[in-house]
Structure 1
Amino acid sequence: MKKKFFIFALIIGVSFTLVGINKAFAYTQKGMTASYHFGFLKGNPYDETRKLDKYTRSAVYQKVKDINISYTSWVKANGHDASHGHNYTVRKKGVILMTNYAVEDYKGSGKTVATSIAAKKDGNGHSNGFWSPDY
């Protein structure tokens, strides 16, 4: 009886571990993750990540690693706002899953759409981290 309980507990434990690992690394499904630095150049309150190809209708993943400023961010696709009003005020480290309509509104006849995160500063400072167009 103890052996069956041990095996059952082991199977449940491994299952939860695999689910957790899958969630933790889900944002790298397409292998497209990039670092970003919002430095907000003097005289320009806006900054933007480099563009990456977005394949799916999923959220855009942003992981803030270092921040000493407050800023508002949103998703852009093909150079246009693809957020439909979903803007995010970023004040601290952490993960932000950004709602967007990049694929729905701007994909066209291609397989991907060029996507980026745009930001507008609320003060002086910087922010660094990683992002992925497909979560």
Structure 2
Amino acid sequence: MINGIAHTAFTVADMKKSLYFYCEVLGLEHAFQVKKENGEPWIEYVKVAPKQYIELFHGGKTSHTPAADEIGPHHFCLLVDNVEEVAAELKKKGLALTVEPKRGLGKNEQCWINDPDGNKIEFLQPDSDSPHNQ
């Protein structure tokens, strides 16, 4: 019935900055755009893997940064082969990690950053005994 997660969506304050971050800094691919009926830009799709996207909506306005215990989105996670290499590459590109590479309680290696709008992104490398390998 359910085959996977098709996309995660965010409204962004500065699309140019967000596309640069996701495509140039993280190395993902800008896949396609959906326009409103009047022809104005509406959504930009960034490809993560086959049939998996990050959906970025134009026109966001800054309101606040949610607290860790606030109901609603908390973070999204990208699966990687090597967390240490990812962390080194992110630092090389001038990004500050919010969490340095470490083994998490879920039996995996992880590190964290924020995107230009403050959304938390986890990079996860499952250990061989991690429940994430199921």
TM-score by length of 2: 0.22
Query: Which structure carries more relative contact order (alpha carbon 8 Å, separation 6+)?
Result: 1
Larger Rg: 1
